[in-house]
Amino acid sequence: MKAEEILGKIEAMHYWDARVLKFDSSFFGDELILIFEDTECDVKLSFTGCSKFSFITNVDDRTKPLRELTRPQIPYFLQDIEVTDVQSEGYQLLNCKITMPPLNAEIVCKSISVEKV
């Protein structure tokens, strides 16, 4: 049930085809932040209490250092975000799958917050 509420907030931001500006990890992966462009402002998704984080991308995507890319050169655009409730070791967690070709990510965490920045 919690996942449906969070997904509703994310979908209200009309993220489809939005350019991803930042995807950072802090505190040894305990916190992840994804920021994407919206028509009015940028949107920040914060994942906290992360126990699993994986991403898969094409090797060709990593031939040029991403830090050298300008904003219009960033190749990541959100295509799909799925959030589901999961239970692991007696804890109620959230599983979030993010498709932003050429990168796909999966995050298992305690909470997800959505805010305009």
pLDDT of 91 over the 90 cut: yes
Residue 39: its pLDDT value, please? 79
When pLDDT is averaged across residues 68-88 and rounded to a whole number, the result is 91
Cβ pair 35, 42 in contact under 8 A: yes
Question: How many independent structural domains does the chain possess?
Answer: 1
Q: What percent of the chain has pLDDT over 90?
A: 72
Of the candidate ranges 3-7, 18-22, 37-41, 74-78, the one whose mean pLDDT is the lowest: 37-41
When pLDDT is averaged across residues 91-109 and rounded to a whole number, the result is 96
Question: Domain range holding 96?
Answer: 2-116
Cβ pair 95, 86 in contact under 8 A: yes
The chain-wide mean pLDDT, for the chain, equals 92
